[in-house]
């Protein structure tokens, strides 16, 4: 990683007086290349450059709404660092309202503001045309402990507006997260195929075993021996029900209608509190502006219920304080938080808006041994657990083109459900 205090810079060069006729002016859509020379290594153009409007008009009258379509964070600042514009992605990643961002300085968004402040002055004074370095973006405390800092790659470039500089920030983890999501989708698909084949192989002999046990019971005259055949029938029925649960997501067609995520959360909250009436508090933190979307209401209720019930069961597990046995002590807490995510990429597909649902608990956390495999079928960290609840939740969310992630540490586990919005 490049040190924040030593940004890489592209020197500004001017043509000699005897260079001949002047070359045609570069279009205003590529301000980062105005100082480039063919003799120098090519500097990648920031993604924001292609969407910049013409600088013929003053900055105050420029239409910058196109920059809201970018997944990367973009700000326009003056040479002193005062923020003149912030796009939707920057507002979303920092958790700070756009108006508040535009009242402050861009350099204050970083944990080490001096590097960006010095770079803004250098680019604004035309000492360099473009500079880039790695830094850490500060986020709002609402993101929770361990999530208030975001590693970013910063690109500072000139614009054609006098006194204005463009700052673009790209998440360093963005590509890693996209690869992880794509790998999770592939693993889920492979797991479903495996379960489907395995289920059919199990069901065929189960029918024969159950039928043979029933016939044997009819032939036995001893009631004590008949008890053994009833055990065989009971276990065969249990395995048959388990197989049906494995096949359920593939069998049932989606019933699509208008869905309100808060109605789903309230339904789940009522069901869980009825099951655990004491020692559990479920906090609601809703963004009521989230619109309805098209989806399968029953599937989404089951997905959220599985995640919340998984959190509740973790809170009920006995263990040493402070994180173990919270339900018995009466300080167990689950938070249902809804937000709008903007310019989000899910499975290599970019969406303008997405629903973001966080299910957060203060339990002991997911055991590290299974943390990377919690969505794999039949994997469970709880004694007697089936290992199917989170697998079904992932399947139902993926059927809505979304994704589900988990971030866990002792005292704070967050399941993050993302579903694209129209």
Q: Give the integer Cα–Cα distance in Å for 236 and 231.
A: 8
Question: Given a cut of 70, is residue 227 above it in pLDDT?
Answer: yes
Q: Give the integer Cα–Cα distance in Å for 4 and 116.
A: 8
Per-residue pLDDT band at 342 (split at 50, 70, 90): confident
Q: Look at strands 73-78 and 8-11 and give their pairing.
A: unpaired
- Lowest pLDDT segment from 343-347, 354-358, 404-408: 343-347
pLDDT tens, residue by residue, 148-170: 788 888 999 988 888 889 999 98
For the chain, what is the mean pLDDT? 78
Which of 410, 405, 21 is closest to 180 using CA atoms? Answer: 405
Question: Given a cut of 60, is residue 46 above it in pLDDT?
Answer: no
**Backbone torsions φ then ψ of 243, nearest 5 degrees:** -65, -40
Q: What is the pLDDT of residue 13?
A: 42
Question: Given a cut of 80, is residue 142 above it in pLDDT?
Answer: no
Percent share of the chain, pLDDT over 90:
24
CA distances in angstroms from 113 to 120, 157, 194, 223, listed in the order given: 11, 17, 51, 83
Q: What is the pLDDT of residue 369?
A: 82
- C-beta of residue 272 within 8 angstroms of C-beta of residue 361: no
pLDDT tens, residue by residue, 85-98: 999 889 888 888 88
Mean pLDDT of 19-24: 42
What are the tokens at 88?
Answer: 């939707």
Per-residue pLDDT band at 259 (split at 50, 70, 90): very high
Percent share of the chain, pLDDT over 70:
73
Per-residue pLDDT band at 263 (split at 50, 70, 90): very high
Q: Give the integer Cα–Cα distance in Å for 11 and 13.
A: 6
Highest mean pLDDT among 20-34, 71-85, 191-205: 71-85
Q: What is the pLDDT of residue 379?
A: 75
- Lowest pLDDT segment from 14-23, 103-112, 144-153, 294-303: 14-23
Q: What is the pLDDT of residue 19?
A: 41
Per-residue pLDDT band at 29 (split at 50, 70, 90): very low
Per-residue pLDDT band at 348 (split at 50, 70, 90): low
The reply to whether the predicted model has a pTM over 0.85 is no
Per-residue pLDDT band at 143 (split at 50, 70, 90): low
Mean pLDDT of 371-392: 76
Write the burial class of residue 219 (CB in 10 Å: 0-12 exposed, 13-18 middle, 19+ buried).
Answer: exposed
């Amino acid at each position: 990683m490049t040190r924040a205090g030593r940004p890489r810079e592209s020197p500004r060069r001017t043509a000699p007086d005897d260079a001949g006729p002047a070359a045609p002016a570069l279009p205003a859509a590529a301000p980062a290349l105005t100082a480039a020379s063919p003799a120098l290594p090519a500097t990648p153009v920031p993604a924001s450059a292609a969407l910049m409007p013409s600088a013929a008009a003053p900055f105050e009258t420029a239409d910058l709404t196109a920059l809201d379509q970018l997944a990367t964070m973009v700000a326009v600042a003056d040479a002193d660092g005062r923020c003149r514009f912030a796009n939707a992605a920057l507002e979303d990643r920092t958790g700070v309202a756009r108006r508040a961002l535009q009242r402050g300085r861009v350099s204050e968004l970083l944990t080490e503001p001096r590097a960006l402040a010095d770079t803004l002055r250098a680019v604004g004074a035309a000492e360099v045309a473009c500079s880039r370095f790695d830094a850490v973006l500060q986020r709002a405390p609402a993101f929770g402990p361990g999530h208030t800092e975001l590693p970013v790659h910063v690109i500072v470039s000139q614009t054609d507006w006098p006194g204005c500089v463009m700052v673009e920030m790209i998440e360093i983890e963005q590509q890693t997260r996209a690869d992880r999501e794509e790998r999770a989708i592939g693993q889920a698909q492979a797991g479903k195929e495996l379960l489907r084949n395995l289920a059919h192989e199990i069901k065929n002999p189960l029918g024969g075993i159950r039928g043979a046990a029933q016939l044997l019971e009819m032939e036995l005259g001893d009631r004590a021996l008949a008890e053994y055949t009833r055990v065989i029938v009971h276990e065969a029925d249990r395995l048959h029900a388990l197989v049906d649960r494995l096949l359920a997501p593939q069998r049932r067609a989606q019933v699509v209608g208008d869905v309100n995520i808060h109605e789903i959360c309230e339904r789940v909250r009522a069901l869980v509190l009825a099951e655990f009436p004491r020692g559990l508090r479920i906090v609601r933190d809703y963004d009521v502006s989230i619109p309805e979307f098209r989806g399968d209401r029953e599937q989404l209720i089951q997905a959220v219920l599985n995640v919340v019930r998984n959190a509740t069961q973790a809170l009920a597990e006995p263990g040493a304080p402070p994180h173990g046995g919270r339900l018995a002590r009466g300080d167990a807490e689950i938070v249902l938080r809804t937000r709008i995510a903007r310019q989000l990429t899910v499975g290599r597909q970019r969406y303008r808006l997405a629903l973001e649902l966080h299910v957060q608990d203060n339990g002991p956390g997911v055991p590290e041994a299974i943390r990377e495999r919690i969505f794999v079928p039949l994997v469970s960290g709880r004694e007697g657990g089936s290992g199917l609840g989170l697998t079904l939740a992932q399947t139902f969310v993926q059927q809505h083109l979304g994704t589900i992630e988990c971030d866990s540490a002792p005292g704070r586990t967050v399941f993050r459900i993302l579903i694209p919005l129209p």
